[in-house]
Structure 1
């Protein structure tokens, strides 16, 4: 299978406090899903290239939890939450909170949709409490980190690191 360059689409609709990420991958849903739930694989692609990620807790199953730290120079950003539903290889539903950013929690749903030719469309829908929180998420620079992470994931999928 030849790899084509795919772009991550980031959409924040005017009428909902939602951020939607859509990205196609030249790999099956099983493989893309595995790269999202296997801690060793996740650490190889998650986040921007200039950031190290440390998994403090990772129990990726329905009713499990997680906590990770992004480290960039002297800055550390801690995110944590619960996995509400993990259905292999089709979806993950989780909450996300960020230490030091108040009591706000967002709800995320990852959908891994099979496409012709053994490909996958990943749609991540993040539902925020309000438009202000949604706009803060968009303004945080997350788009840059997500795009770089998806490019790194493309490389892992292409080189056979994800069986």
Structure 2
């Protein structure tokens, strides 16, 4: 199963092989790896892009280093909260993040996620693989609407990075311009 994003030049590819309990997400960004990586690891930036636009995000803890952990909560318009937490197993600057991911609503379903940041000469390809406990757990995640949240989050990340507008994170300081 593959679902490309038809609305953006850098399509978000989401692939779930029929018999494997995993989801592979690939997306390119118009920014160097150090900026994309920083957007993944700096809680002040993560809160600006992770997840769909309709949700607000509160970060309770975000220690993006090998051995660190995180907890954040997305809040819907009606006040419903969705909590997520995990542990960073490996954080290799500008290259790779390996972490667990657990949704509070399904505490027995923990996925292992690996994000790789590939330098494309001033641009970055991020390839993320999520490994679940079972194909059923994977299918449940896909049915939850995660593909919509991933696509919208990546659109928001494009905006934060400056995308095609030329504004966003300064490539020298990593801060908003």
**Aligned pairs, number:** 159
| Residue 16 (str. 1) matches residue 56 (str. 2) | no
**Segment drifting more, 6-15 vs 28-37:** 6-15
Distance 2:149 2:84 in 1: 14
Does the 8 Å contact 2:116/2:128 carry over to 1?
yes
**Alpha-carbon offset, residue 6 of structure 1:** 1.1
Taking structure 1 as the reference length, the TM-score comes to: 0.94
Does the 8 Å contact 2:19/2:135 carry over to 1?
no
CA deviation map 1:125-161 (0-9, x unaligned): 0000000000011111011011011011111111232
Distance 2:88 2:120 in 1: 26
Higher RCO (CA-CA < 8 Å; seq separation 6+): 1
CA deviation map 1:15-50 (0-9, x unaligned): 311001100001111110000001111111111011
Large movers: runs of 4+ above 2 Å? 160-163
Relative to total residues, which structure has the larger strand share, 1 or 2? 1
Q: Which residue of 2 aligns with 1:48?
A: 52
| Residue 87 (str. 1) matches residue 95 (str. 2) | no
Q: Which residue of 1 aligns with 2:169?
A: 161
Unaligned runs of 5+ residues in structure 1 are none
**Alpha-carbon offset, residue 75 of structure 1:** 1.3
| Residue 77 (str. 1) matches residue 82 (str. 2) | yes
Unaligned runs of 5+ residues in structure 2 are 1-7
